[in-house]
Amino acid sequence: MTDMPTQLTTDFDAVLDRGDITEARRLLAPHLARGCAEALFLSSSIPAGDGDALAEADSFASIRQAAEKGYIPATYAVGVRLLLGDAVEQDATRAAAHFELASEAGYSPAMYEFGLALFHGKGVARDVPRAVYLIRASAQAGNEYAREFLLAYSLDVGT
């Protein structure tokens, strides 16, 4: 088992892009039966119903469970939910901790978000040099938001 996306994510995304929710569920079923963290995370993105609060809670529970199993994109997703207060109480400090953990694993979106937290001192002590380092690393990994941030602040992208 890996802590980053595998072919399962690629296959799942292709099926979901076609709008075949039944096939998406079928694809994940054997992986979910084994408790696969990646499958738990992916299952949270299967549409349930408009404004279904129970489905939102179940979705977050799946993401949190995948994060607890060490799946890095899920750790990042928990951070996003905490930052935005999406289906959970907003908590910038806990969000930053999740972003830091995922950024240490080299997950580019988390490097950008943790860099932003450090840059603005949101949920963590302000540390601009470390923030710029992380945001630059995220930009170099292809994150366009990080690249735009660096350009907006007239900071060298470093590519």
pLDDT at 90: 96
Q: Are residues 13 and 75 located together in one domain of the fold? A: yes
pLDDT at 1: 42
Tens digits of residue pLDDT in 36-58:
999 999 999 887 665 555 567 78
3-state secondary structure of 99: helix
Q: How many residues in total does the chain contain? A: 159
Q: By the 8 A CB rule, do 73 and 5 touch?
A: yes
Q: How far apart are CA 94 and CA 50, in angstroms?
A: 28
Q: Domain ends where: 69, 90, 111?
A: 90
Tens digits of residue pLDDT in 87-112:
899 999 999 999 999 999 999 999 99
Q: Are residues 15 and 77 located together in one domain of the fold? A: yes
Cβ neighbour number for residue 111 with a 10 Å cutoff: 28
Q: Which of 66, 71, 59, 64 is nearest to 94 (CA)?
A: 64
Q: How confident is the model at residue 143 (pLDDT cuts 50, 70, 90)?
A: very high
Q: Are residues 40 and 54 located together in one domain of the fold? A: yes
Q: How far apart are CA 129 and CA 116, in angstroms?
A: 11
Q: Domain ends where: 90, 112, 144?
A: 90
Q: Domain ends where: 90, 106, 132?
A: 90
**The domain containing residue 133 runs over which residues?**
96-159
Cβ neighbour number for residue 80 with a 10 Å cutoff: 16
Q: Are residues 13 and 68 located together in one domain of the fold? A: yes
Domain count for the chain, please give it: 2
